[in-house]
Amino acid sequence: MDIFVTVIIIVLVLFIAGTAAGIFLRRHIHKAVDELDARKINLLNRDIPEEIAKVKKLRMSGETEQKFEMWRKDWDEIVESILPSIENQLIEIEEWAAKYRFKKAKDAIGWVGNRITTVEQQLDTMVEEIDHLVSAEAKNRQEISEVRGKYQELSNELLTKRGSFGEAVRALDEAMADIKQTLASYDEATENGSYLQARKQLLMMKDRLHDLRETMNEIPQLLIQVKSTVPADVRNLEMGIAQMEESGFHLKTFAFDVRLTQFKKDIDKAYEQLLNLHVKEASELLQTINDEKEQMYETLEAEVTTKNKLMEKIPTLKEQVQAATERLQTLLRETTHVQKSYLIAEEETHLQNALQKDLANLRNQLHVIVDVTENQKQTYSSIYEMAEKWSKEMDTFKANIDNSIERLRRLRKDELKAQETVSRLRSVMYETKRTLKKSNLPGVPVKQLEALDFAETKVKQAADALNEIPLEMERVEQLVHEAIEQVEKGSDAIEEMVEKARLAELAIQFSNRYRNRGEEVRQALDQAEDAFRSFHYEEALERVQHAVEPYEPNLLEKVERHISA
């Protein structure tokens, strides 16, 4: 019994759910059908007949008549066939929905939607093409008068100014004849109702008339350039080059003859371009000739300027060689004099030999510069570059001489400095020994004595090296450096030892008051005194501090305060 009730409940639930789903889907389909129907009605409400009627105001022949019939036929088919078919399909969709044939209804909705979209696009294209045709006719009607006027204006100018166009008048006549033919084709297309074709021809005429206007404006001036101005400039340039070569300028390197020949070819080419109305190309070619011509003039002017600068520079170069020769002789004399007292490094000797070779090379290079200048064997600009390079090398040469002279003179300065240092080190050693003597110590540890003796030996070695002839400054400087290190090391060690000995002595004296504090204290103090008498002053100080530390933890501070008082 329970199972039977459960089954009934399940069936009822499924029935209710199915019914609810069916209601929902039918509602969704009805909504889609309403939207499609609204789009269909919108198509019918579009004022397409009025748009098509605009074409009837034009000349109904040829292309216009064909398009009018095509658009009218398309609209009739949409109204009489396509839209009724869509209406029937929408009715069927609603019937399928009522019979729960939802899939078929949904597929049909998609098909109808696509069909309506196609019709909408077809009508949009139709309206756009109608507007294009109608506007083309209107624009043609507005602009053709201007085109005819410009054509007539150019025809009159070509007739009255034929002489200014030279042989290019033949090409201009042909261009005007072409425009006249296009104008006739425009009239024919308009008469036949081919307004779009006529529009293309009109726009083409406007462009050609504009270009022809600019061409006719430029040709007379360009003809003057190509037949008179530019050839005359090239001849003047050619004559100027020849005169400079006769006066001694070496210009073959620049290959001006090749460029002049090319100029003449380019002038002929520019003329041919003008005869064919290629004004832009001819103008650019003439501009290139003028630019290169200016560059050539700049090169010639630079040669003249460079020659003048070179003629002024060469005497100064000769003076520099003479001055450098005297300077080198001064260096060699000073070297000979210094060698009597000092040992000069081998590198310095090699450097001076190299300087003599460098001077010989500079003389030879200057001879070449003077020769090619006097005999016009090169362009002056290239010779001037040689002279500039030579000057830089001479500056380097003079700097090397000055550095060598300075190094020689520095030897004497270094010697005096070394002597002063040795003298100061002797004073330091004297003061160290004096401090040691005044300290009244029982003795000095062997290690400190040996360090002091070693420092004295180093000072003596440096002093002896300073007395040698010839004087080897590198060795002297090394010995002086070693002496400084040893003297400072020995002096500091003696000073530290004396200070610790004094502290140890006073600490022992101060601590004797604690001898009766116990055997251990007495023995420790005796050991401190033994270390002091054995010259182990640091050990003595440490032992006495350790012995009385329980009674005097700050013993060393008290002793130092006593010394400072």
Whether the bond into 49 is cis, omega within 30 of 0: no
What CA–CA distance (Å, rounded) separates 340 from 408? Answer: 12
pLDDT tens per residue, range 42-65: 777 777 777 776 666 676 666 766
Integer CA distances (angstroms), 143 to 147, 151, 187, 258, in order = 6, 13, 13, 53
Mean pLDDT on 437-459: 80
Check whether 179 has a pLDDT greater than 70: yes
- Percent of the chain surpassing pLDDT 70: 87
Say what the pLDDT of residue 474 is. Answer: 78
Say what the pLDDT of residue 18 is. Answer: 46
Collapsing DSSP to helix, strand or coil, 471 comes out as strand
Integer CA distances (angstroms), 86 to 26, 39, 89, 109, 287, in order = 19, 11, 5, 10, 71
The string of DSSP codes covering 17-64 is HHHHHHHHHHHHHHHHHHHHHHHHHHHHHS-HHHHHHHHTTS--SHHH
Mean pLDDT on 322-328: 83
pLDDT band at 537 (very low <50, low <70, confident <90, very high): confident
Average pLDDT, the chain: 79
pLDDT band at 181 (very low <50, low <70, confident <90, very high): very high
Say what the pLDDT of residue 5 is. Answer: 56
Beta bridge partners of 342: 471
Q: Could you tell me if 228 and 169 are in contact, meaning their C-beta atoms sit under 8 angstroms apart?
A: no
Residue-range domain boundaries for the chain? 1-141, 162-277, 440-564
pLDDT band at 17 (very low <50, low <70, confident <90, very high): very low
Say what the pLDDT of residue 20 is. Answer: 46
The string of DSSP codes covering 336-362 is HHHHTTB---HHHHHHHHHHHHHHHHH
pLDDT tens per residue, range 111-155: 877 887 887 787 778 778 777 777 777 777 888 888 888 889 888
> Higher-confidence residue: 410 or 536?
536
Of 440, 428, 526, 530, the C-alpha closest to 485 is 428
Q: Could you tell me if 473 and 414 are in contact, meaning their C-beta atoms sit under 8 angstroms apart?
A: yes
Say what the pLDDT of residue 8 is. Answer: 60
Say what the pLDDT of residue 9 is. Answer: 55
B/e letters for 480-515, b = 16+ CB within 10 Å, e = fewer, are beebbebbeebbebbeebbebbbbbbbbbebbeebb
The number of beta carbons lying within 10 Å of the beta carbon of residue 136 is 19
Mean pLDDT on 386-412: 82
Least confident interval from 87-91, 95-99, 199-203, 509-513: 95-99
pLDDT tens per residue, range 59-116: 666 676 677 677 778 777 777 777 787 777 777 777 776 666 667 777 777 787 788 7
Estimate the share of the chain in helix, then strand, then coil, as percent rounded to the nearest 5: 90, 0, 10
